[in-house]
Amino acid sequence: MGHTIGRWIRGAALLPVALTAGVLAYAQEDDIAARLAALEESVSGSASSYVDNSYLFLIGGIIVMLMAAGFCMLEAGLVRSKNAAMQSTKNVALYSIAGLMFWVIGYNIAYPGAWIGGDEGLKFFGMPAMDAFFWAGGDLSVESDAGYAPASDWFFQMVFVATAASIVSGTVAERVKLWPFLIFTAVLTAVIYPVVVSWEWGAGFLDTKWAFSDFAGSTLVHSVGGWAALVGAIIIGPRAGKYFGKQVHPMPGSNIPLAALGTFLLWFGWFGFNGASQLAAGTAADINSVAQIFANTNMAAVGGVLAAMITTAVLYKGKIDATMVFNGAIGGLVSITAEPLMPSMGQAVLIGGVGGILVVLAVPLLDKFKIDDVVGAIPAHLVCGIWGTMIVPATHGAAFMPNEAGDPNFIGQLVGVGVTGIFVVAASTVVWMLLKLTMGVRCSLEAEEMGLDKAEIGLEAYPEFTSG
Amino acid sequence: MGHTIGRWIRGAALLPVALTAGVLAYAQEDDIAARLAALEESVSGSASSYVDNSYLFLIGGIIVMLMAAGFCMLEAGLVRSKNAAMQSTKNVALYSIAGLMFWVIGYNIAYPGAWIGGDEGLKFFGMPAMDAFFWAGGDLSVESDAGYAPASDWFFQMVFVATAASIVSGTVAERVKLWPFLIFTAVLTAVIYPVVVSWEWGAGFLDTKWAFSDFAGSTLVHSVGGWAALVGAIIIGPRAGKYFGKQVHPMPGSNIPLAALGTFLLWFGWFGFNGASQLAAGTAADINSVAQIFANTNMAAVGGVLAAMITTAVLYKGKIDATMVFNGAIGGLVSITAEPLMPSMGQAVLIGGVGGILVVLAVPLLDKFKIDDVVGAIPAHLVCGIWGTMIVPATHGAAFMPNEAGDPNFIGQLVGVGVTGIFVVAASTVVWMLLKLTMGVRCSLEAEEMGLDKAEIGLEAYPEFTSG
Amino acid sequence: MGHTIGRWIRGAALLPVALTAGVLAYAQEDDIAARLAALEESVSGSASSYVDNSYLFLIGGIIVMLMAAGFCMLEAGLVRSKNAAMQSTKNVALYSIAGLMFWVIGYNIAYPGAWIGGDEGLKFFGMPAMDAFFWAGGDLSVESDAGYAPASDWFFQMVFVATAASIVSGTVAERVKLWPFLIFTAVLTAVIYPVVVSWEWGAGFLDTKWAFSDFAGSTLVHSVGGWAALVGAIIIGPRAGKYFGKQVHPMPGSNIPLAALGTFLLWFGWFGFNGASQLAAGTAADINSVAQIFANTNMAAVGGVLAAMITTAVLYKGKIDATMVFNGAIGGLVSITAEPLMPSMGQAVLIGGVGGILVVLAVPLLDKFKIDDVVGAIPAHLVCGIWGTMIVPATHGAAFMPNEAGDPNFIGQLVGVGVTGIFVVAASTVVWMLLKLTMGVRCSLEAEEMGLDKAEIGLEAYPEFTSG
């Protein structure tokens, strides 16, 4: 008992310590709780990764927007001067129409709330939501659950549509009539492109059933534009005088420095196109990935340029072809677009390099079939778009068939490429043919000879430079 | 008592718990306090929203800076080739002068520490602070209370001044002498523009008494440039041979693709112009708003392009006018600048669309009065600037008069538009007339015919392309 | 004892308080610990300054990438039309080669893990690390210890190499053969530039022994390009017909508006070049500095433009020289590149202004020595690069000799400028001479007269504009 009491006394001796510690803890507690709350508010108020993510879309979006200027310069430089004002005007107009259509209906189709046939169905055609026509942003005062500003995403998606439309413009230049072209653009950006996008980025059948993988759109954007351009080139036919018999009459571009500028602007914009397709930048892992995508994207373009230079130097007895070099860059960029993150930088050079070679080989092939692609958009965007998509599994474990892990696989990629091709060719054929049968798609021979600048917009691109 | 003792004993039995809890709390406390301190330093050191805000100004600023290139290309493309080198040089020079003047005095006038007449006075002319000439940045090592890097704000403000100056340049092209033009630019950017800005963004009478609302400067930037251009065009007179009797002699631009490039660069820069005028990006609400402004700004330009296309097609029998389309984009952008956040995207299309129509209608109107505006800057920047400003209340509750809530209202907008017009017209008249009476503002007829390139800079824009 | 017992009792009376406080503290503790942990994860997960830093490199990097387009436009505009397609092609190719070489070996040399001769040795030649050829990014899933995404830094470094290579391209235009030029570019970007960079940014002898200071590369980038260009111009010789006796035959540029565009694009890109060389943006101090660098960089270009305008107006009887104005901007930008942060904005104007004057004075000087620099790159990049480097100590305490504090000092700067010059001149001479003796560096007189477009790439820049 004495022992017990002694224990109690020793225990009690510690009482003041406990007391002090407890009370002090309680007091500090208040301070810490207040500091913690302040910090929480600061961290939440600053919305750090929310802002970082939104910046990615906004900055990425505007530099992709500048790709519209890039296409404009490339095409204005590669058409003959008598059509250069028209081509410039078309590019401003198509960018506008793409934005309008994607707002009215395109976004709604691309990211459907539900599928016709239900979630167990084919997931082929989305069911547009009645309240999602005329896309609107939602509550600006709160963080969106998506983790980024809603309009930043819409904006970023919108400039992608415009890219697809720009591709068509170059191929069918110098003979397509303005209004049918713009109507085709409207249908492409309102329906055709969004349907294809819904299959993959909208969580449709390519995504859920085939593990189709297309990071930034080699197939979904570039091949869609390329297929539509191909159908347009066939239905509209080649420029007058381009082909007689087996001979190909060259019709050189009128302003090569502008085409070079266009190439650089496209290259520049592609950092946004691929980099911001990472879709987030608020964590170390995300921003590391964005940075790696920048480096890989650049290396693929480098590969495309050098491969095109070397290939043309070999094929053309030491002379390189400037337009092939420019298209080599674009071909390299399209090739890496389906997977700009997983390849090593060396693989990126190779993937882009093959793209550059494909461009050089595909141009004469098209001529052989008398398919007149004024700026070489079909080789760069369609051929390289397919190549870039098909090589994806090679840097992802090289699965052959869809598997349980959902790895990218060759069959899935082939299905994606094929179904996209079939759908876009079919839909484009219907639209181009309807336009041909109703209002006509091709300007008169007279207008073509005079140049579309004079014929359709009553103003010449370079009134003082040419004797015309 | 036994009961009491029992209570004590039971109480004492809890002593070790209290003891443990207290001491443990105290120990953990240390750990938590340390972690909290580390976190506080990390959060404060990373200065997340401070950085986000500053980035908004810096990125916005450089892309607005690129608008100088946009104006340069638009104007170089729309003048005749004999003046294109001069026009390019002027654009480089005016951007430089604007920056210099805004540094020397402009910023000081635009954001006055005090008002002549005091805070109860008219708040019309600010009292420049003696220590604020030659703007300097302050302490780089600490967070500015403003919530963003001081120089980021200065830089962003500076590129706005340059925009106002760029507007004048296009209107008076092809006949104004270089040095008088540059002196006018210096006065415009040192005094005229800053005084107008002080009324609103510098918390002067338009802001405090009229609830005038001009988000990014339809009136403060674009109409200021437009009024100064209008006065210049009248005082300098039209180009030789432009008008005889009631006839208007067209003098087509020499390089339409460059004008298209200029349009795209302006469009691109406008995302910074309007978007970064949100002035903050560090919270979800702010970045959501920036994103919505991007989307709305784009839709207004879309509306301007399509409206100008359709209007010219209707007026000119199916032919669209390329320069009208380009100016339609700019008109749409100017129209949405006074309020790019509140409108829905559909309203943005409409606001921009009306702007595009106004451009098409205003151009012949100016010609009727023999006001020779070489690039169409007055319709796009002045007319659309007024339109954009007047429509602001419509998306803000449509107050008619200033009210207690400080809502934007039609009378306030009218006062802002009117006072700005009166002041800029008066000041510009004084400056242009002084220049006319002293050194002359107009080059000789001989120089005009020869072209300013040869006459004033001794170098041709395109020495190999033209027979001249 | 009663007293003692009383004390105990009073003490014990506080027991419940201690108890409550302790237990409560313990409970709250859990809550606070959980909240703290959540916050820590959020803060760490959002990686705020890591992302901010990486963004600085990525955004800075892409706008420096656009300087490649700027050089391309400047050069395409300043050569004669018969060489403009070639010049455009070269610019696309050199940007590609620079990227490839810097990836293969350049980065490894520039940032050596060890020095030949060891850390106590000269630190002149780095020892390339065996595992650092073909730069690869490292683990994407974790924060790099460097505090930014690894590939963002690589990308930013890579666009600097391309800048150095671009400088050479303009000087030797219109007569250098394509392939030797590209091989020289490869050596310059693989070895010569990286060795120089290793001395300073790679922590070599200029950094550790001389306190050499070159913030963004007036010497390391611009003078390296300038020296290589100078040697090239001398070894290749002037264009045919440029000089006879003491007479200089002017060969005016073919497209001045493109040169203006190039100037604006370079100016735009320079915000990234200098601003992102702050290397961090995640704290208030860093972003304040980045912002101040933007403002100073702009003011130096302003100074360069205005000084070149005034100087040419004085020298050439009132006529200003457009190409001098453009090069004045570039000269001003190069001059501020060695130290864009410390100068006041007024000092920035002066530093840039002297640069602008140097450009105007150096151009005729080169002509006197019959050194044919087609675009004026040597005055702008080499002369101003030296000037900008030598003036650094003036805004840093003006130390004359290296001191213990490691301040920038005139002797150190002189050593840096001198050793760089000697090394680059020697290395470039070897490479250019080897090329001259093996494959030849200069096209035939026939090719030069015909123009390199036809001779080497079989395609004209402007086939419809010139009678040629």
pLDDT in tens, chain B (468 residues): 445 555 555 555 555 555 565 555 556 666 777 777 777 666 654 468 899 999 999 999 999 999 999 999 999 999 999 999 999 999 999 999 999 999 999 999 999 989 999 988 999 999 888 888 999 988 999 999 999 999 999 999 999 999 999 999 999 999 999 999 999 999 999 999 999 999 999 999 999 999 999 999 999 999 999 999 999 999 999 999 999 988 999 999 999 999 999 999 999 999 999 999 999 998 899 999 999 999 999 999 999 999 999 999 999 888 899 999 999 999 999 999 999 999 999 999 999 999 999 999 999 999 999 999 999 999 999 999 999 999 999 999 999 999 999 999 999 999 999 999 999 999 999 999 999 999 999 999 999 999 999 999 989 999 999 754
pLDDT confidence of A22, banded at 50, 70, 90? low
Q: Rounded distance, CA A294 to CA B406, Å?
A: 47
Q: Which residue of C has its CA nearest to A293?
A: C151
pLDDT in tens, C266-312: 999 999 999 999 999 988 999 999 999 999 999 999 999 999 999 99
The verdict on a CB contact (< 8 Å) between A287 and C21 is no
C325 touches chain B (CB under 8 A): yes
pLDDT confidence of A25, banded at 50, 70, 90? low
From A411's Cα to the closest Cα of chain C, the distance in A is 28
C25 touches chain B (CB under 8 A): yes
C52 touches chain B (CB under 8 A): yes
A21 touches chain B (CB under 8 A): yes
Q: Rounded distance, CA C393 to CA C389, Å?
A: 8
Same-domain status, C3 and C151? no
Q: Tell me, what's the pLDDT at B429?
A: 98
pLDDT confidence of C49, banded at 50, 70, 90? confident
The CATH number that applies at residue B381 is 1.10.3430.10
Instruction: Give the SS3 label for residue B394.
Output: helix
- Would residue C117 be called left, alpha or beta, if left means φ above 0 and alpha means ψ between -120 and 50 degrees? left
Q: Tell me, what's the pLDDT at B49?
A: 87
pLDDT in tens, B285-337: 999 999 999 999 999 999 999 999 999 999 988 889 999 999 999 999 999 99
C57 touches chain A (CB under 8 A): yes
Establish if B464 belongs to a structural domain.
no
- Residue of A284, A302, A319 with shortest CB distance to C50: A284
Same-domain status, A167 and A216? yes
Same-domain status, B426 and B405? yes
C227 touches chain A (CB under 8 A): no
Establish if A316 belongs to a structural domain.
yes
For residue B18, the enclosing domain spans 1-43
- Residue of A22, A306, A320 with shortest CB distance to C18: A22
In this prediction, residues A366-381 reach a mean pLDDT of 97
- Chain C residues inside the 8 Å CB shell of A33: 28, 32
pTM value surpassing 0.90:
yes
Quick check: C36 pLDDT over 90? no
Q: Tell me, what's the pLDDT at A45?
A: 47
The verdict on a CB contact (< 8 Å) between C288 and B140 is yes
Q: Rounded distance, CA B463 to CA A81, Å?
A: 18
Residues 6+ apart with CB under 8 A from B277: B60, B215, B216, B217, B293, B340
C295 touches chain B (CB under 8 A): yes
Q: Rounded distance, CA C251 to CA C253, Å?
A: 7
Q: Which residue of B has its CA nearest to C464?
A: B465
Choice among A454-468, B161-175, B363-377, C406-420 with the minimum mean pLDDT: A454-468
**Cβ neighbours around B445 below 10 Å, total:** 11
Establish if B117 belongs to a structural domain.
yes
C15 touches chain A (CB under 8 A): yes
Q: Tell me, what's the pLDDT at C19?
A: 56
- Residue of A45, A143, A458 with shortest CB distance to B319: A458
From C153's Cα to the closest Cα of chain A, the distance in A is 8
Residue from C435, C434, C423, C432 nearest C224 by CA: C423
Residue from A206, A194, A189 nearest A338 by CA: A206
From C121's Cα to the closest Cα of chain A, the distance in A is 34
- Chain A residues inside the 8 Å CB shell of B291: 54, 57-58, 137, 149-152, 155
- Residue of C29, C261, C309 with shortest CB distance to B73: C261
In this prediction, residues C381-408 reach a mean pLDDT of 96
Strand-pair partners of A399 = A409
Q: Rounded distance, CA B375 to CA B79, Å?
A: 8
B99 touches chain C (CB under 8 A): yes
Same-domain status, A71 and A33? no
Q: Rounded distance, CA C58 to CA C287, Å?
A: 15
Establish if B134 belongs to a structural domain.
yes
Establish if C467 belongs to a structural domain.
no
Higher pLDDT, A7 or A138: A138
Q: Tell me, what's the pLDDT at B131?
A: 85
Q: Rounded distance, CA A223 to CA C314, Å?
A: 58
Write out residues 120-179 of B within 8 Å (CB-CB) of C: 134-137, 140-144, 149-152, 154-155, 158, 178
**Cβ neighbours around B112 below 10 Å, total:** 22
Pick the residue of C32, C79, C287 with the most B CBs within 10 A to test the interface with B by mutation.
C287
Q: Tell me, what's the pLDDT at B113?
A: 85
C1 touches chain A (CB under 8 A): no
Same-domain status, C356 and C447? yes
Residue from A12, C5, A30, C29 nearest B19 by CA: A12
**Cβ neighbours around C300 below 10 Å, total:** 35
The verdict on a CB contact (< 8 Å) between A257 and C461 is yes
Same-domain status, A56 and A35? no
Q: Tell me, what's the pLDDT at C34?
A: 79
Q: Tell me, what's the pLDDT at A48?
A: 80
Write out residues 61-80 of A within 8 Å (CB-CB) of B: 61-62, 65-66, 68-69, 72-73, 76-77
The verdict on a CB contact (< 8 Å) between C291 and B65 is no
Residue with tokens 């019309």: B124
The verdict on a CB contact (< 8 Å) between B89 and C255 is no
Q: Tell me, what's the pLDDT at A109?
A: 96
Burial of residue A344, with CB atoms counted within 10 A of its CB: 0-12 exposed, 13-18 middle, 19 or more buried = middle
Q: Rounded distance, CA C296 to CA C344, Å?
A: 7
From C247's Cα to the closest Cα of chain B, the distance in A is 18
The verdict on a CB contact (< 8 Å) between A283 and C93 is no
- Helix A48-78 to helix B48-78 angle (10° resolution) is 20
- Chain A residues inside the 8 Å CB shell of B321: 457-459
Instruction: Give the SS3 label for residue B244.
Output: strand
ipTM score here?
0.91
Establish if C249 belongs to a structural domain.
yes
Establish if A242 belongs to a structural domain.
yes
Helix (H) or strand (E) holding B421: helix B410-438
Q: What sign does the dihedral C161-A348-C50-C143 (CA atoms) show? A: negative
Same-domain status, B138 and B231? yes
Q: Rounded distance, CA B367 to CA B248, Å?
A: 7
Q: Rounded distance, CA C156 to CA C53, Å?
A: 12
B289 touches chain A (CB under 8 A): yes
Residues 6+ apart with CB under 8 A from B42: C43
Same-domain status, C344 and C420? yes
- Chain A residues inside the 8 Å CB shell of C134: 345-346
Residue from C144, C59, C151 nearest A297 by CA: C151
**Cβ neighbours around B408 below 10 Å, total:** 27
Q: Tell me, what's the pLDDT at C395?
A: 96
Task: Please state the domain count of chain A.
Answer: 2
Same-domain status, A269 and A310? yes
Same-domain status, B232 and B366? yes
In this prediction, residues C236-240 reach a mean pLDDT of 98
- Chain B residues inside the 8 Å CB shell of C81: 464-465
**Side chain identity, residue C71:** F
Residue from C238, C192, C91 nearest C429 by CA: C192
- Residue of A18, A290, A309 with shortest CB distance to C22: A18
* Long-range interactions of B24-28: CB distance < 8 A, separation 24+: B24/C26, B25/A21, B25/A22, B25/A25, B25/A29, B25/C22, B25/C25, B25/C26, B25/C29, B26/A21, B26/A24, B26/A25, B28/C29, B28/C33
Q: How many beta-carbon contacts under 8 Å exist across B and C?
A: 252
Q: Tell me, what's the pLDDT at C360?
A: 97
Establish if A464 belongs to a structural domain.
no
- Chain B residues inside the 8 Å CB shell of C294: 58, 61-62, 151-152, 155
Same-domain status, B77 and B12? no
B320 touches chain A (CB under 8 A): yes
pLDDT in tens, C111-138: 998 999 998 899 999 988 888 899 998 8
Q: Which residues of A34-48 are buried (b: 16+ CB within 10 A; e: fewer)?
A: eebeebbebbeebbb
The verdict on a CB contact (< 8 Å) between C66 and A264 is yes
Q: Tell me, what's the pLDDT at A468?
A: 45
Same-domain status, C151 and C28? no
- Chain A residues inside the 8 Å CB shell of B49: 45-48, 51
Quick check: C202 pLDDT over 60? yes
Joined tokens for residue B61: 């600023």
Q: Tell me, what's the pLDDT at A463?
A: 94
The verdict on a CB contact (< 8 Å) between A290 and C72 is no
Distances (CA, A) of B444 to B180, B254, B447, B449, B450: 14, 22, 5, 9, 10
